[in-house]
Structure 1
């Protein structure tokens, strides 16, 4: 059952000119809503204080998904990184990782590298890894190559390596042509077509 958006949150959004009947209206729109970003961030930061504990995870997921827009880059990244570390619900943590794939930039590269190397976060890291395909940081290709043995994120690392056209990645990617999972082998084949 979907949670109702707290009325004070809707009021705060209306105060900045963003009129919606539900938080998910933002998630499901193609319209831009730059003015809402500070409000959404404030609510994400204080959700545990403002929302009953049994509703907190779902409201946070909605806030994270609403913040998964370029207009939130890079301002939302530090708070979403903090949330990623503190959230316990795996689906909500995945939503935080997905948001980071859009809002994070190289100003938080060190924090992203720390998150993606930490295998305790499992598949919640997938979209952060994929988002590293936008990175211009010279350490990104090496980080991504280092993630290829990690079955939780290997496909996303391959996609990111192909996107950054990482020099020196061909040998590591070629090794995956013999991977036991068909999807990994096929993704490696596609990546090799794009790699220098």
Structure 2
């Protein structure tokens, strides 16, 4: 039978947790943290409610935009609504991220130029990340040169890594050459090397 790991004070993790469960200061801290998490979740829920309502009117029933991010079912009727709200902006960063990630599907290729413009203007970390994912997922062969250009926008940091797989997917031989040229790049090297080794 495995024994619980001893901490430096000679107490097992189980014993430590049992002690903490009786510690009023610890319990108060945990309760405060939980309250903060619930309050933040409620703020986000209220913020995205207009989006959820618009989706419902179009026949797309979800409790959160993240439900679309996490489904494998297509939702073509939702795309114009999501794009409209993404362009309006003004939502918390986490909601903006969910909108962009929900648009990270091939059928959203019609909005690729919009994604690029929003990506270049985005300031929130989540929004940037979500838009980079949308740019990669919706890219077609005609977007190859623009994808490569975006790699040079240093202000977007490592969110640009998402674009590498799309460059390989849509770029063919040119895409592979771009990736090979990035195998020593300080930001892209790891993903570039992995993609140049992969046959997919």
TM-score scaled to structure 1, two decimals?
0.71
Tell me whether 1:153 sits opposite 2:191 in the alignment: no
State how far apart, in whole Å, the 2-side matches of 1:88 and 1:130 are: 23
User: Is the contact between residue 139 and residue 170 of structure 2 (CA under 8 Å) also seen in structure 1?
Assistant: no
Q: 5+ residue gaps in structure 1?
A: 162-190
Tell me whether 1:122 sits opposite 2:157 in the alignment: yes
CA displacement, residues 141-181 of structure 1 (integer Å, 9 cap, x when unaligned): 332222222121112222333xxxxxxxxxxxxxxxxxxxx
Q: Hey, what does 1:171 align to over in structure 2?
A: none
| Residue 69 (structure 1) shift | 2.0
User: Is the contact between residue 104 and residue 135 of structure 2 (CA under 8 Å) also seen in structure 1?
Assistant: yes
Q: Hey, what does 1:11 align to over in structure 2?
A: 53
CA displacement, residues 172-196 of structure 1 (integer Å, 9 cap, x when unaligned): xxxxxxxxxxxxxxxxxxx1x759x
User: Is the contact between residue 130 and residue 159 of structure 1 (CA under 8 Å) also seen in structure 2?
Assistant: no
Tell me whether 1:59 sits opposite 2:84 in the alignment: no
Q: Hey, what does 2:106 align to over in structure 1?
A: 70
State how far apart, in whole Å, the 2-side matches of 1:121 and 1:7 are: 29
Aligned equivalent of 2:142, options 94, 98, 107: 107
Once the two structures are superposed, the pairs formed by residues 1-196 of structure 1 within 5 Å of their partners are 1-2=40-41, 3-4=44-45, 5-48=47-90, 51=91, 55=92, 57-72=93-108, 74-136=109-171, 138-161=173-196, 191=197, 194=199
User: Is the contact between residue 94 and residue 126 of structure 2 (CA under 8 Å) also seen in structure 1?
Assistant: no
Over the aligned positions, Cα root-mean-square deviation in angstroms equals 2.2
State how far apart, in whole Å, the 2-side matches of 1:27 and 1:91 are: 14
TM-score scaled to structure 2, two decimals?
0.70
User: Is the contact between residue 132 and residue 160 of structure 1 (CA under 8 Å) also seen in structure 2?
Assistant: no
| Residue 118 (structure 1) shift | 2.6
State how far apart, in whole Å, the 2-side matches of 1:70 and 1:120 are: 26
Q: Secondary structure at the match of 1:139?
A: helix
Moved more, 140-149 or 23-32: 140-149
Larger Rg: 2
User: Is the contact between residue 169 and residue 175 of structure 2 (CA under 8 Å) also seen in structure 1?
Assistant: no
User: Is the contact between residue 97 and residue 129 of structure 2 (CA under 8 Å) also seen in structure 1?
Assistant: no
| Residue 138 (structure 1) shift | 4.8
